[in-house]
Amino acid sequence: TPDSAKSKATASFVVVANRLPVDRIEHPDGSVDWRTSPGGLVTAFEPVMRRHDGAWVGWHGAPDEELEPFDNDGLQLVPVPLAAQEIEDYYEGFSNGTLWPLYHDVIATPGFHREWWEAYVLVNQRFADRTAAVAEQGAVVWVQDYQLQLVPAMLRKLRPDLRIGFFLHIPFPPTELFQQLPWRDQILEGLLGADLVGFQVSGGAQNFLRLVRARLRQETHRDEIRTSDGRTVLARSYPIAIDAKELNDLAASEPVATRAAEIRHDLGDPDVLFLGVDRLDYTKGLLARLEAFGELIEDGTLDVEKVAFVQVATPSRERVEEYRQLRDEMDRLVGRINGDIGRIGRPPITYLHASYPRDEMAALYRAADVMVVTPLRDGMNLVAKEYVACRQADDGALVLSEFAGAARELRQAYLVNPYDVNGMKDKLIEAMNDSARNKARRMKVMRRQVAEHDIDHWASAFLDDLGRTGPHA
């Protein structure tokens, strides 16, 4: 249980992320509790945080509120305040309206607004200041993701004694796209403050190295950058992973097995159940995927009496205009498909705009015959790995976009180009009709990959490399 005791003001290991890994629970009597929010990062860092005097620096989720550092579940949490206007400009604006679309191949048009950038600089400086205040002499600091790309250099300026790592969870774009950004050099310089810059796939690291050479005229040798101030910075890939064992065991549990059977029953016991699980985001390729499925029924390839598609689309960034538009488009598309080709008791698509507990997700993964993961661009995509981890019987098929980072590791998936609707239609059918033997062969290889490269492996690969770099090496 949480206590709001003030924590020590020092830590030898500090994670810095936009959000703290907790959600606030407000009780009817007005008292406040914090609950650890489930997520890969918390699971990955928890063991490391407990071994060291770990602290986590991040925003606590409410606007215009200053909170003192506090302990929760043995984790030292350091809240960074954000004003309502900063949430609009730094978070919804520069992070999700500029960087997110720019780094995902400009699928949506990035907005370039000077006041968004100014807020981004200001907020990054605040994160750096808070971190500098909690990190012990010589501490290891691990900065997370696109919202905080200026923090490494800002932090180094304040605290040259620190060992600083940075990991980007989303793609790092091709140089031609990155160069649209009016503040491209500042971002590169911000990242170069780190000793180690980590990416999901090696293509991202290569894009970064090229830009650093071309724009900042820094020397590089393989994955090393010699900076003009005489430091060495490493740029490498660390494909993020999941807690495969935990998910495997959850999916194999009795209650989840029962729930999976119940889900299929409630859907009218279809012969084939297709499943999609995504944040409702334009990068995830939801529209083309559902269109492909709808056409397969329309043109008679699939029988509406025998198949079902469940699409979970978790609400996301609902104050950003592009996300509102996507939500409307999804409502319209699903309504049209179900209206045109549905039968009584047989809507071809069950569309769930909601968020579910972990065990319900495991039950869905377990229930699905064909998992459909077709992002237009995705740093990694954990859903693909989660599905694999839940298939203890080596059955089921994963249809996976070539443009997800996960496609580099899950080579035995049924790979598709998510822009090619006909190609997707063919692949859905191929995945569905493949022999049990072929499916098992593919699934076995993918399960081994996911089990052997789990989240602990990911965190220690990064931290081991970070430990070998920097001024202390």
Positions touching ligand GDG (CB under 6 A) are: 38, 169-170, 240, 277, 279, 312, 314, 355-358, 361, 378-383, 386
The beta-strand segments (E) located in 246-355 are: 272-279, 307-314, 349-352
Question: Active-site residues: which are they?
Answer: 169, 378
Tell me whether residue 69 or residue 198 sits nearer to ligand GDG (CB atom): 198
Asked if 244 and 40 count as a contact pair (C-beta separation under 8 A), the reply is: no
Token digits of residue 307: 């198949």
Cβ of residue 277: shortest distance to ligand GDG, in angstroms?
6
Distant-in-sequence, close-in-space partners of 254: CB < 8 Å, separation ≥ 6:
none
Cβ of residue 278: shortest distance to ligand GDG, in angstroms?
7
Tell me whether residue 231 or residue 353 sits nearer to ligand GDG (CB atom): 353
Backbone phi, psi, residue 284, to 5°: -85, -5
Tell me whether residue 170 or residue 235 sits nearer to ligand GDG (CB atom): 170
CA distances from 73 to 9, 54, 242, 306, 400 (A): 17, 12, 22, 48, 37
In three-state secondary structure terms, 172 is: coil
User: How many Cα atoms sit within 13 Å of 471 on the Cβ side?
Assistant: 15
CB count within 10 Å of CB 271 equals 12
**Rounded to whole angstroms, how far apart are CA atoms 111 and 116?**
9
Task: Classify strands 22-26 and 32-36 as parallel, antiparallel or unpaired.
Answer: antiparallel
Cβ of residue 437: shortest distance to ligand GDG, in angstroms?
29
**Rounded to whole angstroms, how far apart are CA atoms 401 and 393?**
24
Cβ of residue 47: shortest distance to ligand GDG, in angstroms?
18
Tell me whether residue 189 or residue 386 sits nearer to ligand GDG (CB atom): 386
Cβ of residue 18: shortest distance to ligand GDG, in angstroms?
12
Tell me whether residue 186 or residue 314 sits nearer to ligand GDG (CB atom): 314
Token digits of residue 372: 């459909």
Closest to 414 (Cα-Cα) out of 436, 399, 434, 435: 399
In three-state secondary structure terms, 3 is: strand
Cβ of residue 88: shortest distance to ligand GDG, in angstroms?
21
Cβ of residue 227: shortest distance to ligand GDG, in angstroms?
27
User: How many Cα atoms sit within 13 Å of 81 on the Cβ side?
Assistant: 7
**Rounded to whole angstroms, how far apart are CA atoms 298 and 314?**
27
Token digits of residue 439: 């499916």
Beta bridge partners of 199: 237
Closest to 99 (Cα-Cα) out of 124, 84, 116: 116
Tell me whether residue 70 or residue 166 sits nearer to ligand GDG (CB atom): 166
Tell me whether residue 387 or residue 414 sits nearer to ligand GDG (CB atom): 387
Cβ of residue 389: shortest distance to ligand GDG, in angstroms?
11
Tell me whether residue 119 or residue 390 sits nearer to ligand GDG (CB atom): 390
Q: Would you state the torsion angle of the CA atoms of residues 384, 432, 429, 389, taken in this order, to the nearest 10 degrees?
A: 10
Cβ of residue 405: shortest distance to ligand GDG, in angstroms?
6
**Rounded to whole angstroms, how far apart are CA atoms 427 and 399?**
7
Beta bridge partners of 16: 57, 143
Tell me whether residue 87 or residue 380 sits nearer to ligand GDG (CB atom): 380
Token digits of residue 252: 């194999």
Asked if 155 and 132 count as a contact pair (C-beta separation under 8 A), the reply is: yes
Closest to 307 (Cα-Cα) out of 260, 368, 363, 252: 368
In three-state secondary structure terms, 7 is: coil
Token digits of residue 308: 């079902």
